Structure 1
């Protein structure tokens, strides 16, 4: 019986899917709200993926409560189209604190190659829309999903 339960447990365990690279660096411009280096971190579980953006160069313009920023991250798909990651996940931030949003959920297909350059990050903070765009391709390269 214990052996059957162990096998059942293995059967129900999610398969590990990998995205490479797991993180990439971009240089982002957010207009009057600043800009600079930001890090995108990706995770994948099957057809679901999340993206998190953090930056000490881009700072919160006002104090922000936890999970109060409506964020939409659009990444460009190699070969055409785009993939959107969106949600309201963020830590609490004081004025001038480094910006961090995510993990933002999205749907990916096996083989998707996604790049921030050509896409955007839109954050709505207390009704004010902040749009950030990558000024060059991400390094070390696009996210490729299993």
Structure 2
């Protein structure tokens, strides 16, 4: 009798777990998670940028590193303010902003992020420009190539 009760209890536990998984919302993901493109930052330089995107519901983040801007002096962590502008679904724009960065040595490439933004299911976002502000000095970069392998789709 004990074995039968144990078997029935396990069956109920398994059915409850499977039911809970079936009712759980589907996980959202961005695709691709990484992309590259080229930026022209005027007198600050030009070069390639690498972007990494993540999504948690309607909140999304993009972390960016670019060889287009090199720091002329050491920068402490969280001292770079950045705004990444992206086209949304081929028309209109959205921005991702933030003031997070690792410490950057003199001559080092600028890394910034996570930059925070809001997305909707199905949004297709492609970077078009980047504005980086350090000690009140702004560098504006414009994309000179499309994202590779393509836009982020959330």
Which TM-score band applies after superposition, normalised by the shorter structure? Answer: 0.7 to 0.9
Determine whether 1:49 maps to 2:60. Answer: yes
Higher fraction of helix: 2
Deviation per CA, 1:29-70: give whole Å up to 9, x if none. 111111111101100011000001112453223321100111
Q: Which of these residues, 59, 80, 83, is aligned with residue 69 of structure 1?
A: 80
TM-score (norm 1): 0.85
Is the 2:41–2:68 contact (alpha carbons within 8 Å) kept by the matching residues of 1?
Answer: no
- For the residue of structure 1 that corresponds to 2:43, the secondary structure is helix
Q: CA RMSD in A?
A: 2.3
Following superposition, the deviation at residue 144 of structure 1 comes to 0.4
TM-score (norm 2): 0.80
Deviation per CA, 1:47-94: give whole Å up to 9, x if none. 000001112453223321100111111111124211110010000111
Bigger Rg over Cα: 2
- Matching residue of 1:121: 130
Higher fraction of strand: 1
Number of aligned positions between the proteins: 138
Q: Which of these residues, 16, 33, 37, is aligned with residue 48 of structure 2?
A: 37
